[in-house]
Amino acid sequence: MDAELRQLRLDHPHPEPLMALGQQLRRRYSSEQAIWLLQQLEMYWDAQRLQAFRQPLELHFEAQALQMGSRWPLAERRALELAQRYPGLWLLEIGGGIGGDSLELARTRAFRTVEQEDLRRRYLEHNLKTGGFGEVEVRGGDGLTQAKGAQVLYADPARRNAKGRQWHDLAPNPADLWNLGLPCCLKLSPGLDESQLPPGCDLDYVSHQGVCKEATVWMPGSGQVRAFLHGQDAWLVAERRQPPPLGPLEPGMWLHEPDPAAIRAQVWEPRQGWRVDERLALLATPAGLASQWTQAFEVLEIADADRKNLIRLQKKYDFQPLEIKKRGFDVEPEELRKKLPRGRGGGAGVLYLTRVGGRHRAVICRRV
């Protein structure tokens, strides 16, 4: 069915209603084949939207593995860094899934990958062959028992349950991997508890499409923590540093909301910025200081944030559309919106409800 699947994807490259297409396919194929083709087509659309694979056209997907899979720009960066940190060492990947990482690792080295689930392993084999990497050794079973001869490990553990907060909620369990005593790279959730990591490892928080997608742990390391942000065509990187001093927020200044990876890694970019509240990651700078690490807002006014005042402010600025943002402020933006007058001619504006110098404030601003 591979040729048929390829043609179907070429003929239907973008999401569309499946009903009519399903009927057409059922006329030409058995209902089992038609269902498989349709599912593969839908997952292809998802893969493209998620940037899950560099070249998804001929790949086979399994729904859960696709959702868990790495986005290819992130997988590529990790594979390149693995090659740089551990040149020439024999790599074992434990838990290849359907190949989000394996396909990028394969561009940099020969290695072995182990996937315990049969369907995923079959798809992984297919995807590697289709990608031109048929020489990668794919095995089944428990990868933890197949580490003999490996010199470096890579794993992207799956969550066993919705919590996924403890190491034993993950498969494979990171602690079991570290206990193998080999250099290793692990892709973990950015919500991890840093205090649970082995001492001295390096940690990267990585953003993609505005979301902090993952934390990459390198063992051994030197305790460095970095943020990576996938820009237009290159990676930005910054290292953890001490929080900058506190300072004022005044009309005319720019308020900066950092990218989520920058917040987790505490890189405090832009460097010239100061904090506006000791409990928040928001920064302020003089006007004109743009940074790729932040969304910036030009501050027009700072005022009390009681309901009466918010109504007065919206009447004054007449924002339409009105964007309501909050940081460290207990409010439901959509509920609040219903209570504010609808703007008409004031153009786009932002009501930023946050804390400034320990006080709840309404910061009226425009996106830069």
Inter-residue contact 281 to 258 (CB < 8 Å): yes
Nearer to ligand SAM, 40 or 294 (CB): 40
**Residues 23, 131: Cα–Cα separation, whole Å:** 31
Q: Under the criterion CB under 6 A, does residue 114 sit at the interface with ligand SAM?
A: yes
* Maximum Cα interatomic distance, the chain, rounded to a whole number of Å: 71
346 Cβ contact list (under 8 Å, min separation 6)? 317, 318, 319, 320
Residue from 25, 37, 94, 192 touching ligand SAM (CB under 6 A): that is 94
Under the criterion CB under 6 A, does residue 104 sit at the interface with ligand SAM?
Answer: no
- Smaller CB distance to ligand SAM: residue 182 or 280? 182
Q: Which of 5, 37, 70, 254 binds ligand SAM (CB under 6 A)?
A: 70
Under the binding rule (CB under 6 A), the answer on residue 183 touching ligand SAM is no
Total Cβ atoms within 10 A of residue 214: 25
Q: Assign residue 143 a region: left if phi > 0, alpha if psi is -120 to 50, beta otherwise? A: alpha
Cβ-based nearer residue to ligand SAM, 207 or 314: 207
Amino acid letter for position 241: R
In the chain, count H helices and then E strands: 11, 18
180 near ligand SAM, judged by CB under 6 A: no
Residue 213 vs 361, nearer CB to ligand SAM: 213
Say whether residue 258 binds ligand SAM (CB under 6 A).
no
Of the candidates 25, 77, 97, 256, which one interacts with ligand SAM according to CB under 6 A? 97
Query: Within 10 A of 133 (CB to CB), how many other CB atoms are there?
Result: 18
N-term to C-term CA, the chain: 51
Q: How many residues bind ligand SAM (CB under 6 A)?
A: 23
Least separation in angstroms between CB 145 and ligand SAM? 8
Other beta carbons within 10 angstroms of residue 277's beta carbon come to: 19
Which residues pair with residue 111 across a beta bridge? 91
Give the residue with the Cβ less far from ligand SAM, 64 or 151. Answer: 64
Complex with ligand SAM: residue 34 or 94, whichever CB lies closer = 94
Q: Does the footprint of ligand SAM cover residue 172 (CB under 6 A)? A: yes
What is the smallest separation between the CB atom of 169 and ligand SAM, expressed in angstroms?
12
List alpha helices for 144-259, DSSP H: 174-179
Q: Which of 41, 82, 98, 253 binds ligand SAM (CB under 6 A)?
A: 98
Q: Specify the stretch interacting with ligand SAM by CB under 6 A; choose among 114-122, 201-209, 221-229, 319-327.
A: 114-122
- 156 interacts with ligand SAM by CB under 6 A: yes
Q: Does 125 bind ligand SAM (CB under 6 A)?
A: no
Tokens of residue 263, six digits:
């917040």
Which helix (H) or strand (E) element contains residue 333? helix 333-339
Residues binding ligand SAM (CB under 6 A): 65, 68-70, 94-95, 97-101, 114-117, 120, 142-144, 156, 158, 171-172
